[in-house]
Amino acid sequence: MYLHAQSPEVSLGTTRRRLAVLGGIGLVLGGVGGVAADVVVHLVGLISNLALLHRFGWQLPDLRHYHPTPVLLAVAAGGALVVVGLARWSPIIKGHGIPESLEAILFRDSRVMPRAAVAKPISAAVAMGTGGPFGAEGPIIVTGAAVGSLVGQLIPVSPAERRILLATGAAAGMAGVFATPVAAVVLAFELLLFERSLRSLVPLVLATSVAAALHDVLIAPRPLFAVVHPLIFHVGQLPLFAILGLAAGALAVVLNRGLFAVEAGFRRLPIPEWAHPVVGALGFGAIGLAVPGSLSVGYWAITDAVNGRFLLGAAAVLFVGKMVSWWIGLGSNTSGGTLAPMFLVGATMGEMVGIAFAHAFPAAHIQPGAFALVGMGATFGVGARALLTGVVFAAEVTGGYGMLVPLLLATGVAELVAELGLDDRVMTDKLRRRGLRVDFDAQTDPLRMRVAALVMRPAGEDLATANLATVDRWAFVSEALSLLLEPDMPAVAVTDHARIIGTITRAEIEAELRRRSADEHVQPPTLGPLAPRAAHRAAEAAAEGADRPEPLRDRLAPPEDDQDMEQGDDELTSPLEGTDLEVAHSDDHMSGKPTEGGTRLGAGPAMVKPSCGPPPVAREADDSSCPGP
């Protein structure tokens, strides 16, 4: 009797019906995220008007002409005490949101307590409304993530699907606040999902489109930091944008290292940890007395920067004031966000550079606002190690799509600079301090890049009566591995319309993995002026290789003897056995779902790399399906 593994999937073990379910949930999360974004923005506006301007209003206030008094210190400290109280009820509200979401994804099967959906927006609104130099993206990301996770805990889903719902909720909230649906999708892929697949893309695009549409209806039918006059650049200005990229990379290093230093300083203070936000509030409040523009979300200041409205001195003062106040506020572990502060610091830096270039090259028709836009996108993207998010976000949130080319150039240059000065970024430093490093790099599982017919060995006549599991010739090789890991399964038969045409053993699978690992090896050139020298060296190596080992496939091929083909797992030896690689492909680490006769395998698990100690280990099983209702 044969065991058949079917392949009805459309994406990592997800069927068309299941994909439709995820898409429907994405639509719901988009609506919830859009409404939640409206609530958060207007709640910040209400508290800001009451606490800072002593008036009633729901819109985010313009602080251009705000002149605070020392009462601001008491207001900021009072807001910090409210945050401290809420943090005792829901500790996840501390910080800016992304590390906390990552922790839930990596260590709690994407489960977030429902109370976070209430505590985070309230605490962040209080912190920002009483002068905190943060942005609304942190609270709305946690709020959306909590809602998505809650949905994933109320209905039968796999941990992998719950992770998708968490990321979808977070992206919907971000799109609802900033009207940046594409950037929200990119952010989810770069920082939250640990996979790039159709099953995650469909709910993401549906949710963010709905949330962005609700932003137009509920908040404003225009980009949040709209550019009044079109920003343009000339090809001859690209070297200047590359120089700006150098400055943005250096600024990203300063922002991250400065924040880490302030956080370390707070940890050394001889006071209880709960008092840190109060000290931080007094610090950013004192800076706000001298630089009022550094207070609260500062959206008006970002809009002024990308429109080139600041003079050089004003931009410099705001640049320093916002950066230092953000360090102190976020370093105290209060509730806040990172995107808006990094945007404002990067925009003022870019505008200063643009003003300098405009004076140095008066005939070049340089727009300082264009440099501000590129500076803020490159600084955030590199500072958070979410490069494409920074590029797309800067274009979407301003409507400056014509600046994509200099944005990409400056961001690439900035990342090269930042790699020289940073090991961790603001999104992952907290996890590193707990002894873990998060790997955001992702590759397709090499066993899902070829089908069974390409790696099988031709079948022998004796196999017609063997009790082997089977896979179709068009099945991924990963499906064969899932069956080989079953007890007493030395080989898997490959079929074509119920006719056995070949077999796959662990040897063939190991050969595929070795072939893929060779992709990372630098090879000698076969074309160009260096090719003859490389060929000569290869010939010399061949002449000296009398004792060269036989080809890999021959070495790995199992014995021809029929008896050997029928031996059990205990006698089937392979370097795969007992290794981390075998573990990574077993125990439901893949993103597949139980099917007839086998387990469907998907992309490799997101790896959590210990900063010291034993080798990397895979996350706990997150892709085993839960039973349906």
Q: Is 95 left (phi over 0), alpha (psi -120 to 50) or beta?
A: left
pLDDT tops 60 at residue 624: no
Reported as a single tens digit per residue, the pLDDT across 268-280 is 999 999 999 999 9
8 Å CB contact between 475 and 629: no
User: Average pLDDT in the 206-213 region?
Assistant: 96
* Domain shared by 184 and 285, yes or no: no
Last residue in a domain, options 415, 438, 461: 438
Q: Could you tell me if 202 and 252 lie in one domain?
A: no
Tell me, yes or no, whether 356 and 209 share the same domain.
Answer: no
Q: Report, as an integer, the average pLDDT of 154-178.
A: 91
What mean pLDDT do residues 67-73 have? 93
Mean pLDDT of 246-252: 97
CB environment 203-239: b (16+ within 10 A), e (fewer):
bbbbbbbbbbbbbeebbeeebbbebeeebebeeebee
282 shares a domain with 421: yes
Average pLDDT, the chain: 81
- 42 and 128 part of one domain: yes
Cα dist from 435 to 257, 423, 430, 431, 438, whole Å: 19, 14, 9, 7, 10
Which position has the higher pLDDT, 529 or 306? 306
Residues 259 and 159 placed together within one structural domain of the fold: no
By the 8 A CB rule, do 395 and 407 touch? yes
The DSSP 8-state label assigned to residue 274 in this structure reads G
Whether 109 shows a pLDDT value over 60: the answer reads yes
- Give the separation between CA 206 and CA 188, rounded to whole angstroms: 13
Examine the domain organization and report whether 414 and 335 are in the same domain: yes
Give yes or no: residues 145 and 25 share one domain. Answer: yes
* Lowest mean pLDDT across 49-58, 304-313, 374-383, 536-545: 536-545
C-alpha 210/C-alpha 42 separation (Å) is: 19
DSSP letters of 53-122? SSS--SSPPP-TT----THHHHHHHHHHHHHHHHHHH-GGGSB-SHHHHHHHHHHSTT---TTHHHHHHH
Stated pTM of the model: 0.77
Would you state the pLDDT for residue 225? 93
Question: Which of the listed residues 154, 188, 218 is the one where a domain comes to its end?
Answer: 218
CB 245 within 8 A of CB 411: yes
| CB-based contacts of 261, cutoff 8 Å, min separation 6 | none
**Mean pLDDT of the region 575-600:** 37
How many CA atoms lie within 13 Å of 270's alpha carbon, on the beta-carbon side? Answer: 0
φ, ψ of residue 431 in degrees (nearest 5): -70, -35
Nearest to 174 by CA among 76, 367, 33, 270: 33
Task: Among 421, 438, 455, give the residue marking a domain's end.
Answer: 438
Distances (CA, A) of 441 to 118, 195, 274, 447, 608: 33, 9, 36, 18, 11
pLDDT at 598 (0 to 100): 35
Residue % of the chain over a pLDDT of 90:
45
Q: Is residue 535 part of a domain?
A: no
In a domain, 347, yes or no: yes
Instruction: Say if 275 falls within a structural domain.
Output: yes
Domain annotation covers residue 491: no
Give the domain extent around 99: 16-218
Q: How confident is the model at residue 623 (pLDDT cuts 50, 70, 90)?
A: very low
Task: Determine what percent of the chain is predicted with pLDDT higher than 70.
Answer: 79
Average pLDDT over residues 209-218: 95
Which of 41-55, 107-121, 437-451, 575-589 tops mean pLDDT? 41-55
pLDDT grade, residue 507 (50/70/90)?
confident
Q: What is the per-residue pLDDT for 74?
A: 94
- Band (622; pLDDT cuts 50, 70, 90): very low
> How far apart (Å, rounded) are the C-alpha atoms in residues 107 and 619?
8
Q: Where is pLDDT greater, at 577 or 536?
A: 536
Euclidean distance between the first and the last CA atom of the chain, given in angstroms as a whole number: 32
pLDDT tens track for 396-406: 999 999 999 99
314 vs 348: CA distance, rounded Å: 9
pLDDT in tens, 23-33: 999 999 999 99
In a domain, 593, yes or no: no
In a domain, 162, yes or no: yes
Assess if residue 424 is contained within a domain. Answer: yes
| Count of structural domains, the chain | 2
Specify whether 118 is located in the same domain as 239.
no
| Parallel, antiparallel or unpaired: strands 594-595 and 598-599 | antiparallel
Task: Please tell me the predicted confidence (pLDDT) of residue 534.
Answer: 64
> Do residues 51 and 143 share a domain?
yes
Confidence of residue 611 (pLDDT cuts 50, 70, 90): very low
- Could you please report the per-residue DSSP string of 175-213? HHHH--HHHHHHHIIIII-S---HHHHHHHHHHHHHHHH
Q: Is the pLDDT of residue 595 over 50?
A: no
Q: Which range (10-19, 265-274, 315-324) has the least confidence? A: 10-19
Which one has a higher pLDDT value, 347 or 422?
A: 347
> What CATH number did the domain enclosing 306 receive?
1.10.3080.10
Is 289's pLDDT higher than 90? yes
Same domain, 196 and 242: no
Tell me which of 151-165, 222-236, 259-273, 585-599 is least confident. 585-599
Is position 130 within any domain?
yes
pLDDT tops 60 at residue 196: yes
Question: Residue 153: is its pLDDT beyond 60?
Answer: yes
Is pLDDT of 494 > 70?
yes
Residue 176 confidence class, pLDDT cut points 50, 70, 90: very high
472 pLDDT tier (thresholds 50, 70, 90): confident
My answer on whether 214 and 239 are in the same domain is: no
Q: 202 CB contacts (<8 Å, ≥6 apart)?
A: 19, 22, 23, 26
Q: Is the pLDDT of residue 192 over 80?
A: yes
Instruction: Please enumerate in sequence order all residues whose Cβ is within 8 A of that of 600, keeping only pairs 6 or more positions apart, or say none.
Output: 5, 7, 9, 13, 479, 482, 590, 592, 593, 594
Task: Centre a 10 Å sphere on the Cβ of residue 488 and count the other Cβ atoms it contains.
Answer: 11
